[in-house]
Structure 1
Amino acid sequence: MAQVRQEASQRLFDLAEQQQGYFTTKQAKAAGFAENTHPYHVQVGNWIREHRGIYRLARFPATDRPDLALWSLWSKNRKEEVEGVYSHQTAISLHELSDLNPAKLHMTVPPNFRRNSEIPGVLILHHSHLAESDIQSGPGYRYTRPLQTVVDLIEDGTVEKNFIRQAARQAVDRGLITRQQIQKATMSEPAREFIEEAISRAAK
């Protein structure tokens, strides 16, 4: 019996390790923890309940951006698929492009994304389809690649254009955005013109 518990604990740790120490109720059950034992693990201090259906291993080492892993898990659908992708101001910050320092987390979710409960106040949701080629992975979360991030900010129109120009130029200087990527990408004509202008200025 002790070995069974130990094996379940190891499975849960291996999974949570990929998600900055976080895991869902369903993941804990899949690892071997019956749902009626979850309150016990919270009570004795093994787990910390962070949100409805989401826990964190109490002894897991502190990480830089645990909030990103937490709300990524919150965006899972009933099939346990993560639907949220960090984008816009949050993604530009993760890429360390421009001086933007957003107070809230911007996340793009599919157009049919629905939640029965209230959307957490820390999140700003954008509804759109994203191609897998426009997404990259961080520790326990996903976020948009530099070009898609810049396009999102241009088309959203809620950030000063000087910030977006700064981000585009820095991305070009660092080789994160190339002319070939721009040519292949799907975007509005105004967005394309804006980026082309930023690239031409950066080249001078």
Structure 2
Amino acid sequence: MSRSPLPVSQERTRLLFETADQQSGYFTARQAEHAGYSRRLHTHYVGIGAWRRTASGVYRLRDYPWSEDEQFVQLSLWSRDAHDEPQAVVSHDTALRLHDLSDIDSARIHLTIPSTFRKIAPQGVVLHKGKVSPRDRQLRAGYTVTTPARTLVDAAKSPLSPEHLNSAVREAITRGLVRTRTLLQAVEELPPEAASRLIAALTHMPPAEVA
């Protein structure tokens, strides 16, 4: 015997939760509409406190458990384009921390966005314009972050101190997150100063680990 379908209100609640559950409790207005919530209902659920509006067209389920990474999910959804597709990738100093490659203490969040991106960064967010190919990003729960290799390349092009860069490169190679050969290949496409910084970081590796 087949199970009776859920009432409309329960079905849309289920669909919305499934979406929000993959995004630390966050969802967009368009995602809510796809789940069956009209725009008028958005206002209603914010009004009764079931949803919390966190940015233009971005909401959070009130009772969803807090997640350590939810700030990145929120910024990913904030960066969405006209097709509701997130544009920002967590990168640079922030990606170094997420990969446990640096203990840099920075309150600012670094994101890489396309050159055509026009939104103004929220307070505490640093935007870097550039292209991040699919192979240079990793999917996390509700957001993407640059791969360890791409993160180190970005670090070589940034004002990051040589000490922190050397340490990050050594840690990434030691833990098997990136191969020396991959970084040497990346050197060929870097500006001269960044290439020199990355090569210098590799020369600080113990001989057995550089091979």
Instruction: Give the alignment's TM-score, normalised by structure 2.
Output: 0.89
Identify the residue that residue 51 of structure 1 maps to in structure 2.
55
2:157 partner amino acid = E
Q: Deviations over 1:148-172 (max 9, x none)?
A: 1111122122x21211111111111
Residues in 1 aligned to 2:43 and 2:108: alpha-carbon distance in whole angstroms = 31
8 Å contact from structure 1 (residues 98, 163) kept in 2:
yes
Structure 1 residue 20: Cα displacement: 0.5
Q: Deviations over 1:87-146 (max 9, x none)?
A: 01110010111221221110000001112xx42112110000111111101111101111
Distance change (3 Å), C-alpha of 1:201 and 1:119: closer
**Stretches of structure 2 lacking an aligned partner (at least 5 in a row):** none
Of 185, 194, 201, 2:204 maps to 201
Identity %: 34
Residues in 2 aligned to 1:182 and 1:168: alpha-carbon distance in whole angstroms = 9
Larger radius of gyration: 2
Q: Does 1:152 align with 2:177?
A: no
Q: Deviations over 1:171-192 (max 9, x none)?
A: 1111112023224434334434
Residues in 2 aligned to 1:41 and 1:2: alpha-carbon distance in whole angstroms = 20
Identify the residue that residue 71 of structure 1 maps to in structure 2.
75
Aligned CA RMSD, in angstroms, stands at 1.7
Identify the residue that residue 180 of structure 2 maps to in structure 1.
179
1:178 partner amino acid = R
Identify the residue that residue 91 of structure 2 maps to in structure 1.
87
8 Å contact from structure 1 (residues 173, 202) kept in 2:
no
8 Å contact from structure 2 (residues 156, 198) kept in 1:
no
Of 17, 22, 30, 1:18 maps to 22
Q: 1:49 is paired with a residue of what secondary structure? A: strand
8 Å contact from structure 1 (residues 172, 199) kept in 2:
no
Give the length in aligned residue pairs.
201
Of 54, 60, 66, 1:62 maps to 66
Residues in 1 aligned to 2:167 and 2:115: alpha-carbon distance in whole angstroms = 30
Residues in 1 aligned to 2:204 and 2:137: alpha-carbon distance in whole angstroms = 27
Q: 1:202 is paired with a residue of what secondary structure? A: coil
Instruction: Give the alignment's TM-score, normalised by structure 1.
Output: 0.92
1:167 partner amino acid = A
